[in-house]
Amino acid sequence: MKALPHDDLNGCTSLLKKQISSKSNAAENIRLKNRSGTTKILCVSDTVDPLVYSNNIRERFRDIDFIISGGDLHMKYYGYIVSNLNKPLYFVFGNHHLKHFERFKKSSQSTNSLQNSGYSIKNYFGSICIGDKVIRDKKSGLIIAGLGGSIRYNTGRNQFTDIQMYLRIFRLIPKMLIHRIFHGRWLDILVTHAPPYGIHDCTDRCHVGFKAFLWFMKMFKPKYLLHGHVHLYNANKKRETDYLQTRVINVYGKYVLNL
């Protein structure tokens, strides 16, 4: 059997890749068009909001599709939200309220038999930790990644240097690449606790943002980066900023995102 010339072989391979990508993107576009209405996300972070923690939560947020948290909240607060709205809640841990942090963390050195077996609790208080993970919400089809923690400012838990945050990002790339191939995009939403460097951050060491997030937005182009960590005591303080193709939103307290 006569072998194909090298140029023809490359041409066939390139054509096949384009056809696979085209079919995948077309299927994804059809699925997105068939979605009924707008996806509405309740975002919370850092402080208990009285409009959320209230007797009217079901009526006030009855049309919410799911909940996202930027961290630094008690797990029982998540349990209250989920038990009332009966919707998925995806969250990352911040640098405070880490009582249940180990429950969601795999550790080969732990004496806990569940963790020794490689099992990690993913759903606790009705909530799913997406720290260092890439997930796809079943109902909306939105691709969401999570990177919790803050910049390292002391010896506390869940704090990282910029180099460490880059390494965490690199570990997400294989999963995001799969979504890029089959869904035509790396991700839709990046959920973090800390803000990007120079966007919504502060000058004190604890609240300095990550330069790694600027690189992430440039490379992977999420539609949104949702963060907390920086408290908005002033109602007039800027909450939303556009950076390249990404809208960065501080979801401190409560924020409803319509997509």
For residues 90 and 146, is the Cβ–Cβ distance under 8 A?
yes
With 80 as the cut, is the pLDDT of residue 113 above it? no
Q: How many domains are contained in the chain?
A: 2
Band (pLDDT 50/70/90 cuts) for residue 124 is: low
Asked, for residue 41, whether it belongs to a domain, the answer is: no
CATH of the domain at 232: 3.60.21.10
Same domain, 220 and 100: yes
CB-CB contact of 223 with 248 (8 Å): no
Tell me, yes or no, whether 146 and 22 share the same domain.
no
Query: Residue 20 pLDDT > 80, yes or no?
Result: no
Across the chain, where does the E strand assignment appear? 40-45, 66-69, 89-91, 123-124, 127-129, 133-136, 143-147, 150-151, 159-160, 189-192, 224-227, 240-243, 246-250, 253-258
Host H or E run for residue 22: helix 6-33
Q: Which domain holds residue 97?
A: 91-250
Query: Is 40 within a domain?
Result: no
Contacts of 177 (CB under 8 A, 6+ apart): 186
pTM: 0.82
Question: 214 and 104, same structural domain?
Answer: yes
Q: Examine residue 46 and state whether it is found in any structural domain, yes or no.
A: no
Residues 29 and 99 in one domain: no
CA distance 249 to 98: 23
- 6 pLDDT band, cuts 50/70/90, is very low
Asked, for residue 69, whether it belongs to a domain, the answer is: no
Same domain, 18 and 135: no
